[in-house]
Amino acid sequence: MQKLFHAVLSYIQKRQLLNPGDRVGIAVSGGADSVALLHLLLELSPELGIVLSVVHVNHQIRGAESDADEQFVCALSEQHELEFHCDVYNVPAYAKQNRVSLETAAREVRYDYFESLITEGKLNRIATAHTLDDQAETVLMRLIRGTGLHGFGGIRPKLVVNKQEQICGTIVRPLLGTRHSELETFLSAMRQSWRQDASNEDLQHTRNRIRHVLMPLLERELNPAVTRRLDELSEIARAEEAFWDEQCATLTARLFQQPEKDSPFFCFDLEAFNLHPLGIQRRVLHYWGRTVEPNLNLEFKHVEQILELASAESKDGKQKDGKQVELPGGWRVFRQGHHLQFSLPVTTNSAGFSQDYEYRLNVPGEAEVPEAGIILKAVSIPVDGSAENDNPSQLLNAALLDKELVVRNWRPGDRFWPVHTKVPKKLKELLQEKHLSGPKRRLWPVVVSMGEIVWVRGFPASLKFQARAGVDKAVLITVQELTNG
């Protein structure tokens, strides 16, 4: 046991995953890896100087079994007198609505909850129980599906969580240097039980086939140390990627000219670009695609299409000016002489807005929001049933609001709890349910009072701020389309 404690402590300290004073939520599913992580950090917490709590997400995938997992983890928290953070979410419904796999849906929901705990200031670290085996499987899976060097980096030891472009915490993986078998042996030695998830044995899932079929075959027939070798590859890839990101940041700043105000184009210098070797050209385009816009996920084929457009000579000898390539997220790129023009996605208004916005809204009063093409009006009304056509679920309690509200576009990490829903949700999920386009969704308006979202266009009012029975005065926010001219 002491050898395992020392190995995990060394991994944490070498990568500076945890610092004295950190408020660390341990993500515990109930499985062996996460239960072992709980016990390891309990033992190491005095030396690390950290404060622990437990985080659990009930995905509602396995019915009564999921509820039993939650009860098991809750009991562990009580046994060790740790605060218990728990979220219950209907992942099957989320997966169906967003047309993603259960595995992808569960991960998105789980990490949204982790990020909310950090951005709300309840914790500043979340520790997950990813192991060396998970790392090797991830690298191998990405190799099979197709990836560049960035993908070979696999699972990062730590993942930064931002709020309004400010770092507010990290998600850390203290067990990435530890084998799953070591953790099961550790738990068995201390007679600690854990929960078994039958879905982890289902070979319909790609990761399970890699875990139970491909990895054992590789270890048995080709290299017993294949797990370690794949982990070493991920370490090399992350270091290489960090180095090249620095180089590409400098080069990208020289090659790309930021659009002028209200301009929808990024201008790209082809003469300077074509002086560089192919490897650097690919890296620059991949780097720009990863950093400029979340919706711009450039695959190998997209990069090759851009390179063909950028090349000095045309294969058919024809003029390339005016030719264009369609990219993900509504982006386009076309050739104009010695430049490429990268066009931002077209927004829902003619001005081409793409940046964050923020306006003041007095009560009573109105605020023009040209980015969203609307005028918001805040009207103070008595709650006596005399106001015709007013939907009670849209009324806000005036006594709970600032006299001056803030109108802005929603931001990553925002959460909202509309009336008639069971739990608060990430705004990203609520807007996905409306099937909004990327640009339109990015500019979707919300109203904030005292730092909390009280109103979102197209949804009932916030449950916390709803004008309930007995309230004397309410505020009604209405939307008027902004007409040109």
The domains of the chain are located at: 2-235, 258-343, 358-481
Instruction: Tell me the β-bridge partners of 380.
Output: 475
Cβ neighbors of 108 (< 8 A, separation 6 or more) are 94, 100
Percent of the chain with pLDDT over 70: 89
Average pLDDT over residues 384-412: 76
Same fold for the pair 258-343 and 358-481? no
Highest mean pLDDT out of 66-80, 351-365, 416-430 = 66-80
Q: Using an 8 Å Cβ cutoff, are 44 and 9 in contact? A: yes
Of the listed ranges 127-136, 188-197, 290-299, 375-384, the one predicted with least confidence: 290-299
What is the DSSP annotation of 107-165? HHHHHHHHHHHHHTTS-SEEE----HHHHHHHHHHHHHH---HHHHT-S-SEEEEEETT
pLDDT, greater one: 26 or 261? 26
Q: Is 427 helix (H, G, I), strand (E, B) or coil?
A: helix
Q: Using an 8 Å Cβ cutoff, are 40 and 4 in contact? A: yes
Average pLDDT over residues 99-125: 88
Q: Are strands 125-127 and 23-27 parallel, antiparallel or unpaired?
A: parallel
> Mean pLDDT for the chain?
85
CATH of 358-481, one of 1.10.287.3510, 3.30.56.10, 3.50.40.10, 1.10.260.30: 3.50.40.10
Average pLDDT over residues 54-67: 92
| The pTM of the whole model exceeds 0.85 | no
Give me the pLDDT at residue 348, please: 42
Is the pLDDT assigned to residue 174 strictly greater than 80? yes
The residue behind tokens 């991949």 is 286
In one letter, which amino acid is 5?
F
Distance CA 162, CA 166 (A): 5
Confidence of residue 219 (pLDDT cuts 50, 70, 90): very high
- Dihedral over Cα of 208, 209, 212, 214: its sign: negative
Which of 393, 358, 389, 391 has its CA nearest to residue 376? 358
Cis peptide before 364 (omega within 30 of 0): yes
Give me the pLDDT at residue 204, please: 81
Confidence of residue 184 (pLDDT cuts 50, 70, 90): very high
Domain 2-235 fold: Rossmann fold (3.40.50)
Instruction: Tell me the β-bridge partners of 474.
Output: 381, 397
Confidence of residue 353 (pLDDT cuts 50, 70, 90): very low
Rounded to 5 degrees, φ, ψ at 392 are -55, -30
Give me the pLDDT at residue 418, please: 85
Give me the pLDDT at residue 319, please: 53
258-343 classified as CATH 3.30.465.60: yes
Q: Using an 8 Å Cβ cutoff, are 136 and 118 in contact? A: no
Q: Using an 8 Å Cβ cutoff, are 459 and 316 in contact? A: no
The residue behind tokens 């990062």 is 156
The answer for 74, left when phi > 0, alpha when psi is -120 to 50, beta otherwise, is alpha
Give me the pLDDT at residue 391, please: 64
Confidence of residue 380 (pLDDT cuts 50, 70, 90): confident
Which of 402, 414, 394, 376 has its CA nearest to residue 463? 394
Percent of the chain with pLDDT over 90: 44
Of the listed ranges 163-172, 319-328, 360-369, 454-463, the one predicted with least confidence: 319-328
Average pLDDT over residues 49-66: 93
Cβ neighbors of 392 (< 8 A, separation 6 or more) are 466, 467
Is the pLDDT assigned to residue 447 strictly greater than 80? yes
